[in-house]
Chain A
Amino acid sequence: MSDGDWITQRIAAAKADRPLVTQAVLARIEELLRGRLSEGEVSRGDLTTIAKDLLAKMASVPPEAEVNR
């Protein structure tokens, strides 16, 4: 398995049974895992920024999806 494959597979496994996790969140977390999060300790301030960004991406789920949920 190449280095990229395992990241994708682990993300897919974590996403299972969590329909609220959007594609935007998955794309962002994959990008982070291939870069910044694997390169060294990330400061608290930066983690807060990343968390807010991910939360915003969670909240971007279309309302219809929320109703159907």
Chain B
Amino acid sequence: MRIKAISLSWFRGAADPVSFEPGCKSIVVYGVNGSGKSSFVDALEYALKDGRIGHLAHEYSGKRQERAVPNTHMPAGRKPELSITFAEDSELKIEIQRDGTCSRSGGEAAALGTWDYRRTVLRQDEVAAFIHDTKGGKYSALLPLLGLQSLEVAAENLRQLAKSAGEVTRLGETKAHLKQVNEKRTAAFGTDTDDQILAKIGELHAKYCADKAATTDPLSRCKELKTALDTRIAESTADQRRHVALQEASAPGLKGQVTAVREANARLAGAVEPLITEKLEVLQSTGAFVDRLADEKEVMCPACGRAISVDAFQAHVEAERERLHEIIVPFDTRKAAIATLCDTVKSLKSNLGKADVQAWRDELAKGPLADNFAYLDATNAEDLRASCGEERLKAIEDRLSPLIQAAQSASKDAPPEAKQLSTDKQTVEAGDAVIGGKQQAIAAEHAEVLVSFIESLEQGIRDEIRLRSHTVIDEISADIQAMWAILHPGDAIENVRLYLPKGADKAIDVGLKFHGVKQDSPRLTLSEGYRNSLGLCIFLAMAKREADKDRPVFLDDVVVSLDRNHRGMIAGLLEREFSGRQVVILTHDREWYTELRQQLDAKNWVCKALLPYETPDVGIRWSHRTTTFDDARAQLKDRPDSAGNDARKIMDVELALIAERLQIRLPYLRADKNDRRTAHEFLERLIADGRRCFQKRVGKGYDSHQEVLDSFEDADRLLVSWANRAAHGFDMVRPEAVKLIDVCEKALECFKCSSCGKPVWFANAEGPEFIQCECGEIRWRYGKAQDD
């Protein structure tokens, strides 16, 4: 879908409607800095990125860039508008309200949504952006080209699914609980196997529940056993009941449990304290951060302080989330340890609160354990779940341990039957926990296996992405290398390629060989100019892979840091690799524009120049000329000297290129003087050669083109006398500058046929020594002067 025209009204630099009309052809647009070239690129970006322009994303432009998009001098009652007309006259229109909201109309609005900005527009500040981007950023930029978005989406969804599976089963908490159960098992059953434990429960069931022999389910057996034992204890003598209660009270491994909570607290504090410090900073910065996020391309990460792109922010947040997720494990362990301690304190309180032990308690309460009992009575075990700090743990240890020791001491001389009842009860409780835990262990194992299966599958998909990426990346690398070879023939920088760094998913980088030495990044060795050149090759290689070959490519001032030689290769590169595409080149480089006008095939290319910007009310304006003399004219009013000087500089460049076209031979000068000849030198030679070489059709033959020679002589005379004066800072009055510009322009016009409008070098004529315009009205004979 080629672009026929982009029209702007009060959008960025535009005032009243101004149209950029490549007419579906490729185009070179020249304009001095600030003439408004980029306003057209801004319009395309605005349309592609749903009302956002990257370089305007900053804190001063407003949330919807409403302070940056409209022309600063837009009259009341007007609003910024843009329209893009495509081939076959389909059109997208966008109207922007004062608050920055916009409305779209036209059938092409949806189709444009499939265009990828990064493969459509390359701006000056973005040339090296790909090279400077992170490995992840490069991967994101290339992902649409790899055609692997669905795989990437699937891998990410699997990653989240694995997490969800862990969360729904409370895997962390369950595992911590099972650890406690295991400790209980060791205490009660030693190294007994599951079968031995079941056998023991079976024996006890036969002993205490003989009437329920039909029950075979181990958990049901435990339940029945608990009831039977409680009944048996309740029916025993007061002395036996006292001993059972004391024995139960003396059993808990309180000390170990307090230590477990203490250790969990320490682990948690070690992990959480630095995290909390960081997260507090995050919270403090979040307000300002979120505001900036909407406007900035790059923001400072509040957690680590690094500058980070908005794209990379997502990944960064994810990494932070991972860290928080890891913290959950010690939390779960601590929770389980506290739960066990809580149960123990409850059990102790319950056992020592029984009426059966009241007499024993009353006796002890008269002595030094009075405070301990008071503490136990006042303790609400459930409070431990909310707060279980060191102070609390120390109190539990100091106050409750003596009570347990006293119970242990008192239960030593328990009658054998009471001892047995107590032991059996503890065995049943441990067995119940072990058997119940078995079910939980199976569920946890299932969850763990499922999580690891999903994680493995995610890795498998990432391997698949990697495998497929290699193929596409190799193809893009081949294009980059071919383009690099055109721009840098003979340079000792070779094998420029994209590669997938080892051990990193979602990452791509650029490698090369610098004078034969392998480099993992262009940033290690390449100069800024080379990096930009490489950035251009990468962009073009990516754009080349665009499936829709009718989509245009915009290059906005991308050759700023390239030297003349390398810049000169770009036309060849574009004609070779992009001859079938619509290419839009915008440049403020007059010399390059002049070169391109000469180099590019006029059948496919249009060249247009913008007038220098005057005021926002006047807005962007096109020059009626393809030459750049309007730059000089713009200075006539205030600085006629500069206008004259500009005219001379334009002639220096234009004539150098024309001389090359016409194969004018000039004496060789030393060093760079050879490349810096003046218009006078060329005109002198053109006048001398032109008498015999520049011919005009007269009847059926050709004769010397005298009018042209007169124009050259006029221009040369004025350039020598006036332009030199202007260049050296002497006064030049406005009429003199006007005349100089007109004469220079007229001289250049002489190379163009007044009948067909094509230049004299447009086509080869009948003999190899002649070139001519399209209709043959004017022609030039190569080397005539030297041969004669």
Residue numbers of A with Cβ under 8 A of B are 6, 10-11, 13-15, 18, 20-21, 25, 29, 33, 37-42, 44, 47-48, 50-52, 54-55, 58-59, 61, 66
Q: Is the CB of A41 within 8 A of B156?
A: yes
Q: Is the CB of A38 within 8 A of B452?
A: no
Residues of the B chain whose Cβ atoms lie less than 8 Å from the Cβ of A10: 457, 460-461, 463-464
Nearest CB of A to B658, in Å: 58
Q: Is the CB of A18 within 8 A of B453?
A: yes
Nearest CB of B to A12, in Å: 9
Contacts A18-B449, A38-B153, A41-B153 known; A47 to B443 CB distance under 8 Å? Answer: no
Instruction: Please provide the chain B residues from 155 to 183 with a CB less than 8 Å away from any CB of chain A in the complex.
Output: 156-158, 160-161, 164-165, 167-169
Residues of the A chain whose Cβ atoms lie less than 8 Å from the Cβ of B169: 55
Q: Is the CB of B150 within 8 A of A39?
A: yes
Which single residue of chain B is at the shortest CB-CB distance from A63? B442
State A3–B460 Cα separation when bound (angstroms): 14
Residues of the A chain whose Cβ atoms lie less than 8 Å from the Cβ of B460: 10-11, 13-14
State A21–B449 Cα separation when bound (angstroms): 7
Give 17 new A-B contacts, CB below 8 A, not counting A14-B454, A29-B457.
Answer: A6-B464, A14-B457, A15-B453, A18-B449, A18-B452, A18-B456, A33-B154, A38-B151, A41-B156, A47-B157, A48-B164, A48-B167, A51-B165, A51-B167, A51-B168, A55-B446, A59-B443
Residues of the B chain whose Cβ atoms lie less than 8 Å from the Cβ of A66: 442
Does any Cβ of A come within 8 Å of B450's Cβ?
A: yes
Residues of the A chain whose Cβ atoms lie less than 8 Å from the Cβ of B158: 37
Q: Is the CB of B153 within 8 A of A58?
A: no
Residue numbers of B with Cβ under 8 A of A are 150-151, 153-154, 156-158, 160-161, 164-165, 167-169, 442-443, 445-447, 449-450, 452-454, 456-457, 459-461, 463-464
Nearest CB of B to A3, in Å: 9
State A39–B156 Cα separation when bound (angstroms): 11
State A27–B446 Cα separation when bound (angstroms): 17
Q: Pick the contact of A14: B151, B164, B445, B456 (CB < 8 A).
A: B456
State A9–B165 Cα separation when bound (angstroms): 23
Nearest CB of B to A40, in Å: 6
Q: Is the CB of A20 within 8 A of B446?
A: yes
Q: Pick the contact of B160: A21, A39, A42 (CB < 8 A).
A: A42
State A29–B541 Cα separation when bound (angstroms): 37
Residues of the A chain whose Cβ atoms lie less than 8 Å from the Cβ of B160: 42, 44, 47
State A48–B164 Cα separation when bound (angstroms): 5
Give the residue among B161, B446, B454, B456 with the most A Cβ atoms within 10 A. B446
4 A-B pairs with the lowest CB-CB distances in the bound complex, closest first? A10-B460, A14-B456, A14-B457, A51-B164
**21 A–B pairs (Cβ distance < 8 Å), ordered by A:** A11-B457, A15-B453, A20-B446, A33-B154, A37-B153, A37-B157, A38-B153, A39-B153, A40-B153, A41-B153, A42-B160, A47-B157, A47-B160, A50-B164, A51-B161, A51-B450, A54-B450, A55-B446, A58-B446, A58-B450, A59-B446
Nearest CB of A to B471, in Å: 12
Q: Is the CB of B453 within 8 A of A47?
A: no
State A51–B160 Cα separation when bound (angstroms): 10
State A6–B161 Cα separation when bound (angstroms): 20
Which single residue of chain A is at the shortest CB-CB distance from B445? A20
Residues of the A chain whose Cβ atoms lie less than 8 Å from the Cβ of B157: 37-38, 41-42, 47
State A41–B164 Cα separation when bound (angstroms): 14
Nearest CB of A to B444, in Å: 11
State A25–B447 Cα separation when bound (angstroms): 12
Q: Is the CB of B161 within 8 A of A14?
A: no
Which single residue of chain A is at the shortest CB-CB distance from B161? A47
Residues of the A chain whose Cβ atoms lie less than 8 Å from the Cβ of B151: 38
Q: Is the CB of B150 within 8 A of A44?
A: no
Residues of the A chain whose Cβ atoms lie less than 8 Å from the Cβ of B161: 37, 42, 47, 50-51, 54
State A42–B445 Cα separation when bound (angstroms): 26
State A38–B165 Cα separation when bound (angstroms): 19
State A48–B168 Cα separation when bound (angstroms): 7
State A38–B280 Cα separation when bound (angstroms): 37
Nearest CB of B to A28, in Å: 11
Residues of the B chain whose Cβ atoms lie less than 8 Å from the Cβ of A13: 456, 460
Residues of the A chain whose Cβ atoms lie less than 8 Å from the Cβ of B461: 10
State A25–B449 Cα separation when bound (angstroms): 12
Nearest CB of B to A38, in Å: 4
Give the residue among A25, A42, A44, A51 with the most B Cβ atoms within 10 A. A51
State A6–B150 Cα separation when bound (angstroms): 14
Nearest CB of B to A49, in Å: 9
Q: Pick the contact of A21: B156, B450, B464 (CB < 8 A).
A: B450
State A64–B164 Cα separation when bound (angstroms): 28
Nearest CB of B to A23, in Å: 13
Contacts A41-B156, A41-B157 known; A55 to B447 CB distance under 8 Å? Answer: yes
Which single residue of chain B is at the shortest CB-CB distance from A43? B160
State A21–B168 Cα separation when bound (angstroms): 18
Nearest CB of A to B150, in Å: 4
Q: Pick the contact of A25: B154, B445, B450 (CB < 8 A).
A: B450
Nearest CB of A to B356, in Å: 43
Nearest CB of B to A16, in Å: 9
Residues of the B chain whose Cβ atoms lie less than 8 Å from the Cβ of A29: 454, 457
Nearest CB of A to B151, in Å: 7
Nearest CB of A to B219, in Å: 14
Nearest CB of A to B676, in Å: 60
State A36–B454 Cα separation when bound (angstroms): 15
State A42–B40 Cα separation when bound (angstroms): 38
Which single residue of chain B is at the shortest CB-CB distance from A50? B161
State A33–B458 Cα separation when bound (angstroms): 11
Contacts A15-B453, A25-B450 known; A47 to B154 CB distance under 8 Å? Answer: no
Give the residue among A29, A44, A50, A54 with the most B Cβ atoms within 10 A. A54
Which single residue of chain B is at the shortest CB-CB distance from A58? B446
Residues of the B chain whose Cβ atoms lie less than 8 Å from the Cβ of A21: 449-450, 453
Residues of the B chain whose Cβ atoms lie less than 8 Å from the Cβ of A42: 157, 160-161
State A51–B421 Cα separation when bound (angstroms): 45
Residues of the A chain whose Cβ atoms lie less than 8 Å from the Cβ of B153: 37-41
Residues of the B chain whose Cβ atoms lie less than 8 Å from the Cβ of A50: 161, 164
Q: Pick the contact of B164: A37, A39, A44 (CB < 8 A).
A: A44
Q: Is the CB of B457 within 8 A of A52?
A: no
Give the residue among B151, B450, B464 with the most A Cβ atoms within 10 A. B450
Residues of the B chain whose Cβ atoms lie less than 8 Å from the Cβ of A14: 453-454, 456-457, 459-460
